[in-house]
A and B are shown apart, each in its own frame.
Chain A
Amino acid sequence: MLPYFCKLGLKMKIHCFNQKMFCTSALSPLQLPSRMETHLWYVLPNEVKTQSLLSQYVDLLSPLEKDYLDIHSCVSPRSLVFRKNAHGKPEVIWEQSDDWHPPPLHFNLSHTSSLIACGVIVGSPIGIDVEEKQRTLKSNILSFAKRYFSCEEVEVLSAISDPEVQRHEFIKLWTLKEAYVKALGTGFSGAPFNTFTIRFGDANPNPEDSAIVIVPLEKPTNLTTNWQFAQVELAGSHYAAICRQNDGLPGGVGASMKVIVRKTIPLVEEHCVPSIVPVDD
């Protein structure tokens, strides 16, 4: 049941609940992300165990949202309203009033059966994708890549001789591509994966050292390239990719993203966890 909550932006509501602009909370208020920061929250649904907690989450939803489940001055989480853009990407509809100008807050959700993540950012669209490290494909990885990825990406994957490393790199590449099309807001159909390459700056794709760039393959193209990426490991079990715009950031285009990762049980607890960059096994 919890993944459906999150699809409705519950985590977004909880996040706003904890921000400085809101009054009542058992948890101490947090600052909104600065323009240089990206916040990444995650929940392990297994840890949400009590019915009373689930009831508190349900309580935050509007009647319409509750139906979907078969199921001001201070902004209460309850009052947050969501809609989908033309391609189905969820976003917040802020109430406009003369004396309150809402921050340009953006969020994106992703989940697997064992983890739900929400990226929150100010001033830029964001896309995130999470995938289990142990995820396997039913098809052959290179067959899949040849069908859906770009030639350059197939070459990079083909050059990896260890099948486990190849599988991990495939999953990381998948999450990066998903994060990008989700940040664009068009999804997979608006930006087919074989119309762009995700290229690592170095021959060795070490995310700490090199910038990840988008290389559109069609001319002319609708695909924009002013995006930066981060990769993080979550809970030791998942790869996460984050994509946000890189315009006007201090340090310029090559600067790495400042990601603050928090693990949470909504309404109960949260704590920062170190932002771990995935390395090859």
Chain B
Amino acid sequence: MASVAGSSTLMASISCRKPNQASNFNAVSLAIKGNSFPSLKSCSAPSRFRVSCAAKPETVDKVCSIVRKQLALPEDSAVTGDSKFASLGADSLDTVEIVMGLEEEFGISVEEESAQTIATVQDAADLIEKLISKE
């Protein structure tokens, strides 16, 4: 996991970005004021950052299973770290229920400010591990 200070996490996310994906840069919003951090893209990154950026596969799997259950998706449906909640058919109420399910499963508390930054399964898993590591 990236080092604890928030600004380091942000810098790690910029470094993880593939060099030739300049057009995606806008997707990583440098909202320093803390208004919103739209999804940090999951990193196929230089390996020195890989461990820092991504949550453990087991965490991602647990999140996928909670998401499948909330959205009543069939077992064989494609849900991965990259899956966006909105694309899976989740609306705001679903997303909030998923967050509540994650809180119960992992014994964490997710502030509403953070909940809105979660756009993909990977975002959720990363946030979970960050919150667990703080406790």
Contacts and interface: CB of A to CB of B under 8 A. Distances in A.
A189 interface: yes
A192 B100 contact: no
B31 A135 contact: no
A227 interface: no
Contacts of B92: 178, 188
Interface in B88-135: 89, 91-93, 96-97, 100-101, 103, 111-117
Interface residues of A, number: 22
Contacts of B9: none
A148 B96 contact: yes
Contacts of A178: 92
Given A178-B92, A192-B112, A193-B112, A87 B100 contact: no
Contact of B97 (A137, A188, A189): A137
Interface string A167-191: 0000000100010000000011110
B70 interface: yes
B115 to A, nearest CB: 7
A131 interface: yes
Interface of B: 31, 35-36, 38, 69-70, 89, 91-93, 96-97, 100-101, 103, 111-117
9 contacts: A112-B91, A137-B93, A138-B70, A139-B101, A143-B100, A148-B96, A189-B114, A189-B117, A192-B111
